[in-house]
Amino acid sequence: MKSPRNVLFIMCDQLRRDHLGCYGHPYLRTHNIDALAARGLRFDQAYVSSGVCGPSRMSYYTGRTMTSHGANWNRVPLSIGEITLGEYLRRHGRSLALAGKTHMMVDKDGMERLEIADDSAVGLRLSTGSFDELDRYDGHHEPGCESGYPAWLRAQGYNSARPWSDYVISVEDGRGLVQSGWQMRNVRWPSRVAEPHSETAYMTDQAIRYIEAQGDTPWALHLSYVKPHWPYVAPRPYHDMYSLDQCLPPVRRKAELDNAHPVLAAYREHEESVNFSRDEVSDTVRPVYQGLIQQMDDHLGRLWDTLAKLGRWDDTLIVFTADHGDFLGDHWLGEKEMFYDTVQRVPLIVYDPSPAADATRGSVESCFTSCIDVVPTVLDALGLPPYSERVEGQSLLALTRRAAHTANTDNAQKWRDYVVSELDYSFRGARLTLGREPGECRGWMVRDAYYKYVHWQGFGPQLFDLQADPDEFVDLGRDLSHESIRSRMHAQLADWHGSLKQRVTISDANVASRTNTHKNWGVFFGEW
């Protein structure tokens, strides 16, 4: 039986689940992603641990919830005590290459405390989150020397000290004036770089080059696109490939604004929400957002071809996912963070080359999965220890390889029956609006097949009946007839907290071997 030797872990940034053909988009032509779904298993209830890049990614990289890894916002350092997938792989003589974004911030205070020098082997490893950085490119700002992209752009003739600002996210408007794509009004125009010089093209090139260079040596690669995340500038021809009538309309109702939950109301005062709540903004951005996805799909076609040419479909585990969605004006919100499925529920496709997964190819899995499941899936696929004293997710191979795939087998029963996502909005303007201190701004979502319960520090809860109201328009957080549901799900939150890993310094096997052995240690308490 063939088992995976290589790992290709593809992340898209801010990619909505409903913006892929295989997840039901009526117009977007994501043939290559759809083809992956046809060859693998498509997860229909995949959730992130937080609707924010940083904490979501740290969960993808550690296999642990936001509460456990602690990096609860962008640019919050990942504690020196946390172990990432790359470090697990290194323990077993493997490595995890990186092309693209990680949002990893090194714990400088932690290093200083333990007197680990920046330029020591350990210091260098920690600074990369234990990725082998082919090309580290976090996007959304002018890249520095950690990426080869700016120098390469200059070599292509984009003559600027800031080629990303001046070309990649800049456009020429109808009057020939250069405008910044930071201002969403300008994204109707194409990027000033030619398509082969765009971020998506460049990073795909890095990935293809790496995979080709490995030959028959086993490899693992994290290809992490910075698109379709803002700035929403697309290169020609993707900037106007889709017309507005080929876009999904905003999902919002006026009634949502009445008696809205205080945190939600504060978020709707954020600049991105105010703007995206106007049709003009949503109508301008949505076609370009689709174009950026279409572009990514086209480049994934090149990557699939490379895998085919090299025979790598036979021995490569592929995980395709996103760190969260993008409201684009849904629910009168811009950006992400809030606990609607629009943002929390992401695409997830796993291609498992093992013949044991043949029975599930092309099918859809409805068990609840979480971004913390990726690390245990990779460890499992490569036959490495599960590090279960620390890793909180579950291996998805239990689902790709279950012999007869049906939605309600006993296997599915053993899987989790709800997911939790978290938010700490301490860094956001909403904190000031609501007059709260840092660390008093936490929220949790408990989402099962029937209800979504959202618990907020210092405020009442939210509740949505997902059967009656799948688009989450009606907040039942104060509805008297749903008190018992809220109470039950509040308690579920306690149980979830209690299930998180606590004792990370020794293994479960160590505990098992030492259970009730005090007399072996010369300790004889309780004897008469």
Contact set for its own copies, span 386-405 (CB under 8 A): 388-389
Enumerate residues 401-430 that contact its own copies by CB under 8 A: 424, 426-429
Enumerate residues 280-299 that contact its own copies by CB under 8 A: 280-281
Half-sphere exposure of 371 (CA within 13 A, CB side): 33
Structure tokens at 460: 């009442």
Helix (H/G/I), strand (E/B), else coil: 38: helix
Which residue of 3, 79, 306, 366 would you call a contact of its own copies, by CB under 8 A? 79
Burial 264-287 (b: 16+ CB within 10 A, else e): bbbbbebebbebbbeeebbebbbb
Enumerate residues 90-109 that contact its own copies by CB under 8 A: 107, 109
- In angstroms, give the least distance from the CB of 105 to its own copies: 8
- In angstroms, give the least distance from the CB of 141 to its own copies: 6
Name the β-bridge partners of 224.
Answer: 11, 100
The interface region with its own copies, picked from 148-156, 300-308, 393-401, 434-442 by CB under 8 A, is: 434-442
State which residue, 15 or 184, has the beta carbon closest to its own copies: 184
- In angstroms, give the least distance from the CB of 165 to its own copies: 9
Number of residues that bind its own copies (CB under 8 A): 90
**In this structure, is the dihedral angle defined by the CA atoms of residues 188, 268, 17 and 305, taken in order, positive or negative?**
positive
The interface region with its own copies, picked from 198-206, 239-247, 345-353, 512-520 by CB under 8 A, is: 512-520
Our finding on whether 70 is near its own copies (CB under 8 A) is yes
Which residue of 24, 92, 118, 122 would you call a contact of its own copies, by CB under 8 A? 122
H or E element that contains 252: none
State which residue, 119 or 527, has the beta carbon closest to its own copies: 527
Structure tokens at 416: 């989790």
> Measured between alpha carbons, how far is residue 100 from residues 43, 161, 487 in Å?
24, 21, 43
Q: How far apart are CA 452 and CA 51, in angstroms?
A: 15
Spell out, one character per residue from 182 to 221, where the chain touches its own copies: x when CB under 8 A holds, - when not.
xxxx------------------------------------
Of how many residues is the chain composed?
528
> Measured between alpha carbons, how far is residue 320 from residues 18, 36, 41, 169 in Å?
15, 9, 11, 26
Our finding on whether 448 is near its own copies (CB under 8 A) is no
List the Cα angle 437/443/447 in 5-degree steps.
Answer: 180
Q: How far apart are CA 362 and CA 340, in angstroms?
A: 27
- In angstroms, give the least distance from the CB of 270 to its own copies: 7
Which residue of 47, 73, 289, 451 would you call a contact of its own copies, by CB under 8 A? 73
- Residues in CB range of 381: below 8 A, 6 or more apart: 3, 4, 7, 317, 352, 395, 397
The interface region with its own copies, picked from 195-203, 205-213, 303-311, 520-528 by CB under 8 A, is: 520-528
Structure tokens at 84: 């990432």
- Residues in CB range of 480: below 8 A, 6 or more apart: none
The 8-class DSSP code of residue 165 comes to I
State which residue, 145 or 432, has the beta carbon closest to its own copies: 432
Which residue of 2, 120, 249, 470 would you call a contact of its own copies, by CB under 8 A? 120
State which residue, 43 or 73, has the beta carbon closest to its own copies: 73
The interface region with its own copies, picked from 77-85, 236-244, 305-313, 463-471 by CB under 8 A, is: 77-85
State which residue, 480 or 512, has the beta carbon closest to its own copies: 512
- In angstroms, give the least distance from the CB of 480 to its own copies: 15
> Measured between alpha carbons, how far is residue 386 from residues 52, 270, 378, 409, 411 in Å?
26, 42, 9, 24, 19
Our finding on whether 80 is near its own copies (CB under 8 A) is yes
Burial 447-462 (b: 16+ CB within 10 A, else e): bbeebbbbbbeebebb
State which residue, 62 or 273, has the beta carbon closest to its own copies: 273
Spell out, one character per residue from 240 to 279, where the chain touches its own copies: x when CB under 8 A holds, - when not.
------------------------------xxxx-xx-x-
Task: Select from 12, 7, 8, 9 the least CA-distant residue to 296.
Answer: 12
What is the residue type of 507?
A: S
Spell out, one character per residue from 465 to 494, where the chain touches its own copies: x when CB under 8 A holds, - when not.
----------------------x--xx-xx
| Residue for token pair 């456009």 | 171
The interface region with its own copies, picked from 138-146, 193-201, 313-321, 474-482 by CB under 8 A, is: 138-146
- In angstroms, give the least distance from the CB of 349 to its own copies: 28
Spell out, one character per residue from 320 to 359, where the chain touches its own copies: x when CB under 8 A holds, - when not.
--------------xx------------------------
Q: How far apart are CA 112 and CA 317, in angstroms?
A: 38
- Residues in CB range of 66: below 8 A, 6 or more apart: 49, 50, 55, 58, 59, 72, 422, 424
State which residue, 42 or 252, has the beta carbon closest to its own copies: 252
State which residue, 5 or 431, has the beta carbon closest to its own copies: 431
Our finding on whether 497 is near its own copies (CB under 8 A) is yes
Our finding on whether 505 is near its own copies (CB under 8 A) is yes
- In angstroms, give the least distance from the CB of 374 to its own copies: 21
Our finding on whether 143 is near its own copies (CB under 8 A) is no
Which residue of 9, 230, 238, 387 would you call a contact of its own copies, by CB under 8 A? 230
Our finding on whether 117 is near its own copies (CB under 8 A) is no
Contacts 24+ apart (CB under 8 A), 251-258: 251/330, 251/331, 251/342, 251/471, 252/277, 252/329, 252/330, 252/331, 252/332, 253/473, 255/473, 255/474, 256/331, 256/332, 256/473, 256/475, 257/332
